[in-house]
Amino acid sequence: MNINIPRIQNTDSGNFFLIAGPCAIEGEQMAFDIAGQVNDICRRLGIPYIFKGSYRKANRSKRDSFTGIGDEKALGILRAVGAQFGIPVTTDIHTDPEAAMAAEYVDVLQIPAFLCRQTSLLVAAAQTGKVVNIKKGQFVSPEAMRFAMEKVQEEGNPNVILTERGTTFGYQDLIVDFRGLPVMQSFGAPVVLDCTHSLQQPNQSSGVTGGRPALIETIARAGIAVGADGLFIETHPKPSEAKSDGANMLPLDRLEGLLERLVRIREAIR
């Protein structure tokens, strides 16, 4: 990895790195349980690991959907997870003032896909000096992500990650164009494949986003074969009980086997 992420481990293994955790921080024990299990798996397999959890869900289909347990409480849990396990943590931000606020607690700031063209947000994130992970909008070409990346770099912050998370395919589905990974890598930034959000089925008539989690391994295998630098996987012990995005999350007990198989694919293409 050609960017500086504080506390990241196993960087000399030659493996892809992993951004993984629950969609949203639902509570302290849940966050610690997930982070601990994933960290143990990644240490055994030599995978650099970043814990992910949203401190607030700002983009919901319905007004009464779960948005969080409180900003300071959730951010405090993220910081505690990083300190407990000695790993970097990340969360998404949605408005300019949130950049400086979240930067006090996390190592990587994530820009949601819908906001990847929001210049002031990108600039605010860049100015914190934190690593900035920009998720590619469902409506944006891989080629256009160069300009999002440059908005961060022009503030003097070279630490940018770009994440592919699918492209709008009709009204209620997404599709992954794997050509986009090498295109974005050509800009000089590490490129991550979001294996769970790429399988969302948004805009359902029920007002709750659907998904196709049975295809997570298919997407992940293809991403590693193409040469993705990292993977993004949302995981939960009981996705059916998750307060956000349960329809496209990977059950936590399936993560270890998946990562073992992906490491073998990585070894085969090196």
Does residue 2 fall inside a structural domain? no
Distance CA 10, CA 91 (A): 21
Residues linked to residue 49 through DSSP beta bridges, in sequence order: 18
Does residue 212 fall inside a structural domain? yes
3-state SS, residue 195: coil
The enclosing domain of 118 has a CATH number of: 3.20.20.70
The whole-number mean pLDDT for each consecutive block of 10 residues of the chain, a chain of 270 residues, reads 88 96 95 98 98 84 71 97 98 97 98 97 98 97 98 98 94 92 98 92 62 88 97 94 81 97 95
Q: pTM of the prediction?
A: 0.94
Q: Report yes or no: 132 and 159 within 8 Å, Cβ to Cβ.
A: yes
Does residue 12 fall inside a structural domain? no
Nearest CA-CA partner of 160 in 148, 169, 168: 148
Number of domains the chain contains? 1
Does residue 11 fall inside a structural domain? no
Does residue 4 fall inside a structural domain? no
Question: What pLDDT was estimated at residue 44?
Answer: 98
Domain of residue 227, residue span = 17-269
Does residue 7 fall inside a structural domain? no
Question: What pLDDT was estimated at residue 162?
Answer: 98
Does residue 1 fall inside a structural domain? no
Does residue 70 fall inside a structural domain? yes
Question: What pLDDT was estimated at residue 64?
Answer: 58
